[in-house]
Amino acid sequence: MEEKSRWDGLPRRLFSEALGTGLLVAAIVGSAIMASQLTGDAALTLLINMFSTVLALGVLIWILGPVSGAHFNPAVTLVAAIRREVRPREAILYIVMQVGGGLLGVALANVMFDLPAWHTSDKERSAPDLLLGEVVATAGLLLVIGALTRTANGRLGPLLVPAWIGTAMFFASSTSFANPAVTISRAFTDTFSGVDPASVAPMVLAQLVGAAIGAAITELLYPRRGIPEPLDLPAPVHDVRPDEPGR
């Protein structure tokens, strides 16, 4: 019975992660395509893309956060798993659903604009300065989420997480992918928001480095006291009990 109770609701959580990541990618890619069709101004295109991304992310966290914790990001899930805030098997399933949902989301965006569902990009994004941008953007994202959860302010997630992503899209040289699932998915659109498949691995590595830095800063500023606080927004959906080392 105890094992069963641990996995109650898992299908809903997995569907929520796939749906949320897919719709987020569809918003990112679709808005970039629409903006590039409306204007040839790169700055205006990025501005439109940013607004759509920020609004979609906020809405998705608000709608789906109570179901799955609104990770939508393998870096977030991986940090939670390393901290034993999410069981390893569930973390693996979360990441699979996030990547799968993202791939469906990019296909949806492409097809909506009469493009092939999946077509690879040739936009190279692996220069050192861009990778540094990904480290900074992802570190900041994990710090924001960590601060929210460690201070019991997860209800502010739909506002503060998109706020960080939005500002990082303009101050980070990489325009802030900050998400391995989104990065993999954007390799399959040859549009404004695309990324060369050869750049995916370096970008994901930079994101993981950034996630580790953000997690470390969180531990320094907000040391854990008592029961761990999962990286779930707006409130914990994972039952984290420190007496379950093998979960």
What distance in Å separates the CA atoms of residue 123 and residue 143, rounded to the nearest whole number? Answer: 29
Say what the pLDDT of residue 246 is: 41
> Does residue 116 lie in a domain region?
yes
> Does residue 238 lie in a domain region?
no
What distance in Å separates the CA atoms of residue 128 and residue 164, rounded to the nearest whole number? Answer: 22
Identify the segments of the chain with pLDDT beneath 50: 1-4, 243, 245-247
Q: 28 is in which domain, residue-wise?
A: 2-221
> Does residue 235 lie in a domain region?
no
Taking only the tens place, the pLDDT of each residue in 11-27 is 999 999 999 999 999 99
What distance in Å separates the CA atoms of residue 109 and residue 195, rounded to the nearest whole number? Answer: 15
> Does residue 47 lie in a domain region?
yes
Choose among 65, 5, 83, 74: nearest CA to 239.
Answer: 5
Amino acid at 56: A
Taking only the tens place, the pLDDT of each residue in 30-43 is 999 999 999 999 99
Tokens 């800063």 locate to 217
Report the predicted TM-score, pTM, of the whole model to 2 decimal places: 0.94
Say what the pLDDT of residue 6 is: 54
Residue 233, φ and ψ in degrees, nearest 5: -120, 145
- Tally of domains in the chain: 1
At a CB cut-off of 8 Å and minimum separation 6, what does 65 contact? 154, 157, 158, 232, 233, 234, 235
Please state, rounded to an integer, the average pLDDT across all residues of the chain. 94
Count of Cβ atoms closer than 10 Å to residue 59 Cβ: 16
User: Terminal CA-to-CA distance of the chain, rounded, Å?
Assistant: 15
Say what the pLDDT of residue 218 is: 98
Kindly report the CATH number assigned to the domain that includes residue 113: 1.20.1080.10
> Does residue 53 lie in a domain region?
yes
Say what the pLDDT of residue 7 is: 59
